[in-house]
Chain A
């Protein structure tokens, strides 16, 4: 056997950021030849990040299609990204699977009162591909989302089954507009058709949940030490209490004790890695929400990359904006607000302006891709074992339609997705087909998702449209 891969030192990842903490030792960090030997896709830890961008894309307009503002002209693997808003992903094209020409019909209005309410309904559709029930009350109804279907199956292997992050202030309860509860506008992650999960906006809250309370490694280490000695005392107290109580209560305390041991085990695990002498960089525990959009997104990317590397969780849903947000993005050169820009009146120069905003958003992704690519993991890098979903449930935002919506995948999903592909779906293909395939790739045994009609082969362009 000829071993070509090199042993990647843990210090090589997540450079240039504040404090350091030791993270769980990962398979991929073992010297070449040990971990690889058992490398099979099924044994790999597959990760999923599902990101939603709102307001569709300039490339979904007739003009945008002609100019290839979102997806490239050619299907297959010899596509040219340079005219598109995806140009920033060129260095990662090997990891890239662009799925164009799919529709999100469940985001459309089904009955007259729903007409016009697209902005307040779409976010709930993106990862569920289900049609939300129009209500301002508590009788919410959409679908179980992609990330949650995966988290339910595999999330239990990690301390935190899944996390939900967002950038904009999205958690207003109650009614939004057009008779839709704000829950539909605010959450892309649905644990069940009636259970939207709250999205966390404060990076510090994310940090504390992922890595423990305390802003410095010393503080976190002191915290763990204190927790351990408290847990010892809890165990002693339980042992004492058990001598004075009845059988059933004793069984109940045993239950409790096993939870105590579980927490002890987690702490021990972290400490064992700490004493191995290998440390990793972690972002500094943030104080709160940064003022700048870009800083906020990058901080959230840092946290996601670090959490995936440490295997604290394997599933993230990340809402990059909120419908009708009118944020201005300095650095795009566009001074119009995001929502206003998305209503470009189908005028070419305004569509091009909107495309600049699309390109800016996509342009933030390499920051995350680079981190994941540089984090060793079984069989290669974390990026090799991850599927990133990026897309929007809207197409041409000027008319609020949901056809030819933007969608792309990044990462190899443990090797099941080859990448360097542009799949141009036949007209009328539901976006759900592509998402169904992602779920199957990740090992979920389901045969339908949302309004899917059939799974989509993510490694071969459909014959009918495969133009070279």
Chain B
């Protein structure tokens, strides 16, 4: 557990139960008063003794043996021996740097005294770490869902949804690739077997494929008034998916439309609507929609195509409505994008609503005639035997090449022979392809594919930090930057033992960063760091936010990913994440932000007004920190403390009433979110934490639940003012940004910490902090460019080395 940050000292000042000590006499006002001027007796913190005295005077009151605020006792803290209590020292450094300690309202010495204390602690801890570096250790990683998916795409040119086979990954410290929580279970083992079999049959093709049904769902609140990505032009709504057909054969496409609450077709008043089914953009069926269709009619709300002949392989299938009109609708009530918020209006006359697709099923194949050439088959069958004698050598060549790539290292003859036994088995049961398929299936189920096991030489090197082998280093690099196995060039360099040669690692890392595949730094790393997946869990109230729909939510996530990717692509300063005056929008997002002259679904770069600069102006972040019917300054404040400052607040104590239990309406007056929070904060049990958390979030209260700018809430002007825990005055996004930038070192270290967690597949520990500070300092000399952070991590001992003597207990089995 990384208790040293998680449950750390920050909230010592929550110090509710502390009944003794000087700090208790400190004034407790709300909003928090700026720091109290230093007491005249403050010793000048020049030497360790004076620093210890500062700690005794200002910290040890709450952080006492008995009080142990934040689980930390500083009663015996000796600043001279900071390196001996590195875990405590690191907690102190983080809080001091963030300006969170001493807490608002408590006595605090001059800022320079605190900064000098932090400097001194850092220097001593860093010096000790330099003499005795600890690269840390993690158990071997297994491929998580995302890595499995990317690896299959590289290996077999196949897009496959593994969510159907593999259980969800356990998240630790925000990331899904942390090795020691990756547990094993029989369900996982079975999942691997089923995935191997399914992936193989889709990749090789299966002339014996049985008819099954695959269903794709359209999110209920996705907008279906515009063309969706991938659909032919001239269509609206519906859905477009890439489906892998196992064989050439007949397939039936079944579409269910949305009904209203009484089972009548949503959008029923619209007559003449048609839905088109196309494969790879070519129309295969056009079906008229009977406006009177309903649950109660024969066949319900389901439409079916006749059997359609489709070739094997991945093909884009689209079921979309023919767009019959565009432009404004001349109704008294205009339809809104997400008309399905209330399907009841969908049957009313006088309001223009249109049918919506609910799901699309592919049923088949029937009448299989064979398996056509596909990208996967071309990737697999690099040779074709023309005689029986050529079969086995050809199979052996295929097996060896695939296994080399799958196992991420030159494959032993022994393993090739073993895999060829699967070929032989399959060949006796069926044809040449059947044999190859058997060997591929075994390859995919092998622990050498599924686990990233790094060879160690335990006996020889016990107790030492050792460099990982070049091939293992190649995998670490590749999974860090691309989330998948090394490519041919990296493998070649590594297997020749040249990867650790001077300059080579940097060269490879830079090459890989320039490759489009490094987009996973945005789609995987940043998405998890910034908690973007949480956007899907928030469904803004349809009555209060009628302009929101799933399509907008997805676009907001994409905006943030593209923004992060631009930082990587252009090698910008990491601080630009907070300050950039640009972002990426498509028509939908532009309209949402009030940015003119953007049309279409493609994203482009635009300048943004002052208040929307950086991540704090991104709809994704603002949305994922809201609840359905109101903003949540608490969640926004928590997000900032966690993601930007690396100091998450502790969870609320049990039995704390939720904000919802604070009346939304006092004496007939409807309260704004701020007023409700102030009511809530009257409870002293809540106040001590919330006076830190809330002002951060309230500064963003001009952004509504969906991230749209607003000046009024509940009929009253939005009040975004507040005082940050360090005394800075806040009145909106700009002052908040400035206040956070005054602690930019903390932000940069937090960023490094998260990037390192993702890169190493383990939680960052106190002994990593000297490395993190060193990386951040070096990057600072390089204008904080993101490449400096990435290369800093790649060149760190933690990334290149491992400890081999570890017998830590592994994660609990499920």
- Measuring CB to CB, which residues of chain A are less than 8 angstroms from any residue of chain B? 119, 135-139, 169, 171-175, 177, 179, 181-182, 202, 204, 213-215, 219, 222-223, 226-227, 229-231, 233-234, 236-238, 241, 244-249, 251-253, 255-256, 259-260, 262-263, 285, 287-289, 291, 324-328, 335-337, 339-340
Contact = CB atoms under 8 A, between A and B. Distances in A.
A291 B341 CA distance: 28
A255 B458 contact: no
Given A237-B448, A253-B447, A137 B139 contact: no
Q: How large is the interface on B (under 10, 10 to 19, 20 to 34, 35 or more residues)?
A: 35 or more
Contact of B188 (A202, A214, A259, A287): A259
Given A136-B542, A237-B415, A252-B810, 20 more contacts: A137-B627, A169-B358, A174-B220, A175-B539, A222-B429, A227-B193, A229-B425, A230-B193, A252-B139, A252-B184, A255-B810, A260-B189, A263-B190, A263-B193, A288-B213, A291-B299, A324-B262, A327-B263, A327-B295, A328-B296
A2 B183 CA distance: 53
A215 B448 contact: no
A121 to B, nearest CB: 14
A255 B139 CA distance: 13
Contact of A245 (B188, B210, B295, B458): B458
B446 A325 contact: no
A168 to B, nearest CB: 10
Interface stretch (B384-392, B670-678, B723-731, B801-809): B801-809
A255 B233 CA distance: 53
A325 B295 contact: yes
Interface in B402-424: 415, 418, 422
Nearest to A222: B429
A326 B295 contact: yes
Interface of B: 137, 139-140, 183-186, 188-190, 193-194, 196-197, 210-213, 215, 217, 219-221, 256, 259, 261-264, 294-296, 299-300, 341-344, 358-359, 361, 363, 415, 418, 422, 425, 429, 438, 441-442, 445-448, 451, 453-458, 537-539, 541-542, 550, 627-628, 804-810, 813
A376 B561 CA distance: 59
A167 to B, nearest CB: 12
Nearest to A175: B539
Contacts of A237: 415, 446-448
B541 A223 contact: no
21 contacts: A136-B542, A172-B220, A174-B221, A213-B194, A226-B441, A230-B442, A233-B418, A237-B446, A241-B448, A245-B454, A245-B456, A247-B458, A249-B453, A252-B139, A259-B184, A259-B189, A262-B186, A288-B361, A326-B262, A339-B263, A340-B263
Contact of B197 (A182, A226, A328, A335): A226
Contacts of B344: 177
Contacts of B441: 226, 230
Nearest to A247: B807
Contact of A249 (B139, B188, B259, B422): B139
B210 A215 contact: yes
A328 B294 CA distance: 10
B296 A327 contact: yes
B295 A175 contact: no
Given A245-B456, A340-B262, A182 B447 contact: no
Given A252-B139, A263-B186, A238 B447 contact: yes
Contacts of B809: 248
Contacts of B263: 324-327, 337, 339-340
Contacts of B537: 137-138
Contacts of A248: 137, 139, 806-810
B363 A287 contact: yes
Nearest to B803: A246
Given A215-B210, A328-B295, A137 B538 contact: yes
A249 B803 CA distance: 12
B782 to A, nearest CB: 36
Contacts of B264: 326
Given A172-B358, A252-B139, A255-B184, A234 B446 contact: yes
Contact of B628 (A135, A177, A223, A238): A135
A204 B164 CA distance: 14
Chain B CB within 10 Å, residue with most, of A179, A204, A230, A336? A230
A211 to B, nearest CB: 13
Contacts of B445: 230, 233-234
Contacts of A255: 183-184, 810, 813
Given A247-B807, A256-B184, A288-B213, A136 B539 contact: yes
Given A204-B212, A255-B184, A326-B294, A172 B217 contact: yes
A291 B361 CA distance: 13
